[in-house]
């Protein structure tokens, strides 16, 4: 509807000025042609009148009037000499114009009278054709043309403009219907799909192959958002199921130890308290890991370029006292000019979790190496240990949440590698557990190089 109103307004603004311009042009052309003919007639008639050949002059006037529709009136001091239309001889408005004619030509439009409708007129005095300075008497020539004839032409122009305007509006309405249908139909489909998704029908997808490019991009964005929503909901469901299952075991153990404390003697109470504290510590670690996973899932990744040398060396030095305490050799090799693209704060968590797993898997006297190197357009971080290692199948499952290896820390949460995988994916990279050349695991993380 708005498009049609705009089309009507645009058409009016275009055609109305054209109509008024044609109106003014038609009036100006009529007067210009009338003045031109009057000058030509004045030359011919003055010659006939000077020779006293009025019969020839009247014949010329009638012939001209018949062929053009213009009327000729010639007046001298004695009265009417020529009147191509008899009633003009008694038209007082023309007689008044004749009395006002001097040396200059007069022209305009008469007001009209009971005898004649309004007329275009041109009036002038006749001079001697052979000698312009010689007078042939006080002779005045008036040539007239009915305004109503030009009015009919102008009305015809307006009708033609109205027809053009109607055709333009018809074309505009047709285009409006076509364009609006091409916009409204996809919008309605998008609206229905969004309503269905809002009502929980997450399998519904918006058709993304219809309408203009903007609507197709909108439909694609909605589908991508829906897919992301499904992924998040599925991750949440899996997270809740896994968390419930993992929390049930330490809670059951706590309940048993507390029951033993309630019914046991003093000697066994100390052991039960230690067990309770151990389960509480395990629960704390598990809850901390779950919270870290939840925080990472809920935040919007913001990538940044990071110079990794100082950060990696700092984290390795932080873990060095722990390595010395457990009789482990900790080595680091990182180039000075390496930058990676990663989300804020992710690299520290990735390193800490990989080192923690490496310490748990490496027996006393072993070695843990942290290295980084550029490989094509990637930068690879390697945390390699000399522990017992994992089978091919175990390496495949190790990144899953709550998975624990057969040689792993039984008190661990099983979420360390899951957190690493989550942070690396958010950073646009990938993580892989490989078999180290000397036994153990080579945890390889690939980042996009800056």
Report the alpha-carbon distance of residue 229 to residue 206 in Å, rounded.
14
For domain 205-298, say whether CATH 3.80.10.10 is its number: no
Query: Looking at residue 130, what is its pLDDT?
Result: 47
What are the boundaries of each domain within the chain?
A: 2-154, 205-298, 303-449
* CATH code for the part of the protein at 303-449: 3.30.565.10
pLDDT digits (tens, 9 = 90+) for 207-266: 777 777 787 888 888 888 888 778 777 767 766 665 665 566 566 666 666 776 666 655
Q: pLDDT tens digits, residue range 330-344? A: 999 998 888 888 888
Q: Please, are residues 422 and 344 in contact by the beta-carbon 8 Å criterion? A: no
pLDDT at residue 277 in the model: 67
CA-CA distance, 397 to 447, in Å (whole number)? 22
Residue pLDDT, tens place only, 300-315:
667 888 888 889 999 8
pLDDT at 450: 77
Residues 366-393 pLDDT 10s: 999 999 988 888 999 999 998 888 877 8
Q: Quick one: how far is CA 270 from the chain centroid?
A: 71
Beta strands in 84-132 (DSSP E): 106-109, 119-125
pLDDT at site 231: 76
Beta carbons within 10 angstroms of residue 145's beta carbon = 21
Please identify every stretch of the chain with a pLDDT value under 70, giving residue numbers as ranges.
1-4, 6-7, 113-115, 128-137, 235, 238-257, 260-301, 397, 401-415
Q: How many angstroms separate the CA atoms of 440 and 386, rounded?
A: 4
- DSSP SS3 for 380: strand
- Out of 3.90.1170.50, 3.20.20.140, 3.30.450.20, 3.40.50.300, select the CATH number for domain 2-154: 3.30.450.20
Fold agreement between 2-154 and 205-298: no
In 49-169, DSSP assigns E strands to: 71-76, 79-83, 106-109, 119-125, 140-146
pLDDT at 76 (0 to 100): 85
């Amino acid at each position: 509807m708005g498009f049609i109103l705009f089309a009507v307004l645009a058409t009016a603004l275009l055609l109305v000025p054209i109509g008024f311009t044609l109106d003014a042009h038609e009036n100006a052309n009529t007067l210009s042609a009338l003045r031109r003919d009057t000058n030509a007639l004045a030359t011919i008639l003055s010659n006939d009148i000077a020779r006293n050949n009025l019969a020839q002059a009247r014949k010329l006037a009638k012939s001209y009037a018949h062929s053009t529709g213009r009327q000729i009136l010639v007046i001298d001091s004695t009265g009417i000499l020529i009147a191509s239309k008899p009633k003009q001889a008694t038209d007082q408005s023309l007689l008044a114009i004749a009395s006002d004619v001097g040396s200059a030509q007069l022209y305009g439009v008469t007001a009209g009278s009971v005898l004649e409708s309004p007329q275009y007129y041109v009036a002038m005095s006749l001079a001697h054709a052979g000698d312009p300075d010689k007078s042939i008497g006080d002779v005045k020539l008036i040539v007239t043309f009915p305004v109503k004839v030009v009015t009919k032409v102008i009305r015809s122009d307006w009708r033609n403009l109205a027809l053009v305007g109607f055709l333009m509006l018809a074309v505009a309405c047709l285009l409006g219907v076509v364009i609006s249908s091409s916009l409204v139909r996809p919008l309605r489909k998008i609206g229905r799909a969004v309503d269905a998704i809002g009502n929980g029908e997450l399998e519904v997808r918006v058709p993304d192959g219809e309408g203009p490019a903007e609507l197709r991009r909108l439909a694609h964005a909605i589908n991508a958002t829906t897919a992301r929503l499904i992924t998040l909901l599925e991750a949440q469901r899996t997270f809740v199921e896994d968390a419930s299952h993992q929390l049930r075991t330490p809670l059951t153990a706590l309940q048993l130890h507390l029951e033993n404390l309630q019914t046991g003697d003093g000697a066994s109470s100390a052991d039960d308290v230690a067990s309770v504290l151990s389960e509480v510590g395990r629960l704390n670690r598990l809850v901390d890991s779950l919270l870290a996973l939840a925080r990472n899932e809920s935040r919007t990744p913001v990538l940044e370029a990071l110079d990794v040398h100082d950060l990696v060396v700092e984290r390795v030095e932080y873990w060095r006292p722990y390595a010395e305490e457990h009789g482990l050799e900790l080595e680091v090799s990182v180039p000075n000019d390496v930058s990676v693209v990663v989300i804020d704060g992710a690299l520290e968590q990735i390193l800490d979790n990989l080192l923690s797993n490496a310490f748990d898997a490496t027996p006393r006297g072993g070695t843990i190496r942290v290295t980084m190197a550029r490989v094509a357009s990637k930068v690879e971080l390697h945390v390699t240990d000399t522990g017992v290692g994992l089978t091919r199948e175990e390496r495949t499952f190790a990144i899953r949440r709550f998975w624990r290896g057969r040689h792993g820390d039984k008190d661990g949460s099983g979420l360390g590698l899951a957190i690493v995988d989550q942070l690396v994916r958010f950073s646009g990279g990938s993580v892989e557990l490989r078999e180290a050349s000397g036994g153990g695991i080579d945890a390889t993380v690939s980042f996009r190089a800056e």
